[in-house]
Amino acid sequence: MILKSYEIKKIDSKKNNFVLFYGKNEGYKDEAIKFLIQNKGEILKYDEKEILENQENFFESIFSKSLFENEKIIIIKRASNKIFEIINEINEKNVDDLFIIVNAENLEKKSKLRSLFEKDKKFVCVPFYPDNEQVLSKLTYDFLKEKKISMSPLNINTIVNKCNGDREALINELQKIECFVKKGKKITSENLQKLTNLNENHSISLLVDNCLAKNKKKIIGILNENNFTNEDCIMITRSFLVKAKKLLALTKTFETNKNIDLTISSAKPPIFWKEKEITKQQIYKWKPKNIKQLIYALSETELQIKKNINNSINLITDFILSHSSAETNN
């Protein structure tokens, strides 16, 4: 069964044991998942890779009876068609006390996983497409109204445009603004730039761009010229993630049309003219499947950095150098 993203209130965990959220809008998917699991039973979260590497433990965990809760919520992150057989096996066991939410990125129409969730009445399939500027503007106005925060239309447009259709990034910035205002301070254009990541460190942007373009000499030069701090490492991973997701969409388009200029000109949001040349280099150097692997590795690296902040410089340097070699995609 297919539902629109605004119809998730129709999902009944008693009737619809399996839910698939797919698409690039991670922020919207996160909101939808939080809505579905509120006031629910035991919640277990897994990464697809984790499940595939140890299926026996996964099945043992989800099928064991809970002592305190009648319902188990299973959330499977970073899912793909590889999880298809696992979902089928769970479905065949007819377990009524499981509510399974599968969170995937883009799935093509021919996807086995997507087809299963679209056609079976017990399954629900919900696509989450990127937000346009109007949707993000409304989200911003609604957030500010709810929190009773005053901000000029110019500043609202600035923050919405800079988030490039990324709802998750927008929510993060709005939460920073909320904390700032609670301290009794007013939002001006100047402190908005300082408060949020709107003025991204130029060196960080150069570093990430050249890593994605596999310009190893330039990368080493940037690393040697800049004394990056532990705090910068988190900014580097976040900048990497934003740029990698954009590059993933571009490489998929390029695989289809085989026309680099058309790929660049049709990009949404538009690519700034100064970034077009290095973006072309990046598209030529990467394939979609390799970028997906990069995004996964990036998430693992960010987790390690947060666990061991004092070693973050070494962790991010190793990550950058290992993913900037020309051999990565061979």
284 and 320 share a domain?
yes
327 vs 242 pLDDT, higher one: 242
Looking at 106, 127, 148, which one is the last position of a domain?
127
- pLDDT at residue 231 is higher than 80: no
Question: Which range has the worst mean pLDDT, 18-27, 79-88, 140-149, 194-203?
Answer: 194-203
Domain's final residue, options 195, 223, 240: 195
Per-residue pLDDT at 1 exceeds 60: yes
Residue 95 scores a pLDDT above 80: no
Give 246 or 231, the one with higher predicted confidence: 246
What pLDDT is attached to residue 67? 58
Among 104, 127, 150, the domain boundary falls at 127
pTM for the model stands at 0.56
Claim to verify: residue 22 and residue 103 sit in the same structural domain? yes
* Cα(104)–Cα(115) distance, integer angstroms: 13
Q: Which helix (H) or strand (E) holds 179?
A: helix 167-182
CATH number, domain with residue 41: 3.40.50.300
Q: Which helix (H) or strand (E) holds 183?
A: none
Please say if the pLDDT value at position 96 is more than 60.
yes
Shared domain for 208 and 268, answered yes or no, is yes
**Together in a domain, 141 and 66:** no
Q: How many residues does the chain have?
A: 330
Confidence of residue 68 (pLDDT cuts 50, 70, 90): low
pLDDT at 326: 57
Predicted pLDDT of residue 164: 64
Query: Looking at residue 263, which CATH number applies to its domain?
Result: 1.20.272.10
Residues 40 and 140 in one domain: no
Number of domains, the chain: 3
pLDDT at 196: 66
Check whether 43 has a pLDDT greater than 90. Answer: no
Radius of gyration (C-alpha) of the chain in whole angstroms: 21
pLDDT of 275-301, one tens digit each? 888 999 999 999 999 999 999 888 888
pLDDT band for position 328 (cuts 50, 70, 90): very low
Quickly state the pLDDT bin for 98 (edges 50, 70, 90): confident
Q: Which domain holds residue 13?
A: 5-127
My answer on whether 283 and 250 are in the same domain is yes
**298 contacts 244 by C-beta, under 8 angstroms:** yes
Same structural domain, 272 and 306: yes
One domain, residues 229 and 157: no
pLDDT of residue 260: 92
Looking at residues 188-199, what average pLDDT do you find?
67
Q: Give CA–CA dist 209/322, Å, rounded.
A: 15
Residues 35 and 123 in one domain: yes
Same-domain check for residues 208 and 187:
no
**What is the mean predicted confidence (pLDDT) over 172-192?**
77
Same domain, 225 and 323: yes
- Cα 32 to chain centroid distance, Å, stands at 14
Do 145 and 242 have their domain in common? no
| pLDDT given at position 329 | 47
Q: What percent of the chain has pLDDT over 70?
A: 92
pLDDT of res. 330: 41
Structure-token pair, residue 325: 């070699």
